[in-house]
């Protein structure tokens, strides 16, 4: 399968990204992509005032997307998405975003409520690191389970994100099954996110072992995204995903008007 669709891209409407939408579109065409979905951040900072640029200006964003569609629409399908952090903890704001005309809403977890006991500082360094990792992973997947059960979005971003911090990341299929059951109930899907390679990980997010549990739970739909924050990273490592998919019974697609469409049936609109 040739992956011609990148479903996780940030333009400079996101405060952590560099390039405007027009630059991204030109780069996508140069790289042979026929469809992209922009997924700029909407992120509420817990406890501290959220910088305004993380609560992106929807009207400005929509105007930029429409101008890009006029300029590049004969060569590239441009879908409008958003990456919303912790929607289950910010339900009022999420409901406002979900009511807008997005093609795809991606949910992610970037903040965790944490509570460390000071006595941990008295133990050996190696033991302390192991305790921190175990606690972090437990809290992360508790949050992921709450997010999956809440629903209302289309895609879960970078599912095994903690592995970017912990190289001896431990996978636990029993934890994942509950989460994947919730996703199946709500119609949300996982993404294969290739940015993990750039951070030194052995596999994309999520690993093949996690995707096996995902299939076993009755899920088979996926989207693929580079999580590019600069135009030069669009479609990065998609060749590795293509090779992986050669032997997997998974259906790759994208969302348009919040509906999943298989790559095999979806052709770029001219």
| Phi, psi dihedral angles at 119 (to 5 degrees) | -65, -20
Per-residue pLDDT tens digits of the chain, which is 270 residues long: 689 999 999 999 888 899 999 999 999 999 999 999 999 999 988 877 777 767 778 899 999 999 999 999 999 999 999 999 999 999 999 999 999 999 999 999 999 876 655 454 555 666 666 677 778 888 899 999 999 999 999 999 999 998 888 767 667 778 899 999 999 999 999 999 999 999 889 999 999 999 999 999 999 999 999 999 999 999 999 999 999 999 998 999 999 999 999 998 754 443
User: Domains of the chain (ranges plus CATH)?
Assistant: 5-262 (3.20.20.140)
* Percent helix, percent strand, percent coil in the chain, to nearest 5: 40, 20, 40
CB atoms within 10 A of CB 107: 24
This prediction's pTM: 0.91
CB atoms within 10 A of CB 143: 17
Tens of pLDDT along 151-198?
Answer: 999 999 999 998 888 767 667 778 899 999 999 999 999 999 999 999
Peptide bond into 90 cis (omega under 30): no
């Amino acid at each position: 399968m040739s992956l011609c669709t990148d479903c996780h891209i940030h333009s400079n409407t996101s405060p952590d990204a560099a390039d405007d939408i027009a630059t991204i579109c030109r780069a996508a065409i140069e790289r042979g992509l026929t469809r992209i979905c922009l997924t700029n951040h909407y992120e509420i900072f817990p406890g501290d005032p959220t910088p305004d640029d993380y609560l992106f200006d929807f009207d400005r964003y929509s105007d930029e997307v429409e101008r890009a569609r006029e300029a590049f629409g004969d060569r590239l399908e441009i879908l409008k998405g958003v990456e919303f952090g912790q929607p289950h903890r910010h339900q009022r704001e999420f409901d406002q975003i979900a009511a807008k005309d997005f093609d795809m809403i991606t949910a992610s977890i970037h903040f965790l409520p944490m509570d460390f006991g000071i006595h941990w500082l008295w133990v050996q360094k190696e033991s302390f690191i192991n305790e921190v990792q175990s606690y972090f992973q437990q809290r992360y997947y508790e949050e992921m389970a709450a997010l999956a059960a809440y629903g209302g979005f289309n895609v879960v971003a970078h599912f095994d994100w903690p592995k970017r911090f912990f190289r001896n990341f431990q996978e636990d299929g029993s934890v994942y099954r509950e989460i994947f059951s919730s996703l199946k109930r709500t119609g949300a899907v996982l993404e294969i996110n290739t940015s993990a390679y750039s951070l030194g990980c052995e596999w994309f997010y999520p690993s093949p072992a996690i995707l096996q549990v995902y299939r076993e739970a009755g899920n088979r739909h996926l989207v693929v995204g580079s999580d590019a924050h600069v135009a030069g990273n669009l479609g990065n490592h998609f060749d590795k995903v293509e090779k992986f998919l050669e032997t997997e019974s998974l259906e790759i697609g994208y969302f348009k008007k919040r509906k999943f469409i298989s790559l095999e049936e979806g052709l770029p609109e001219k």
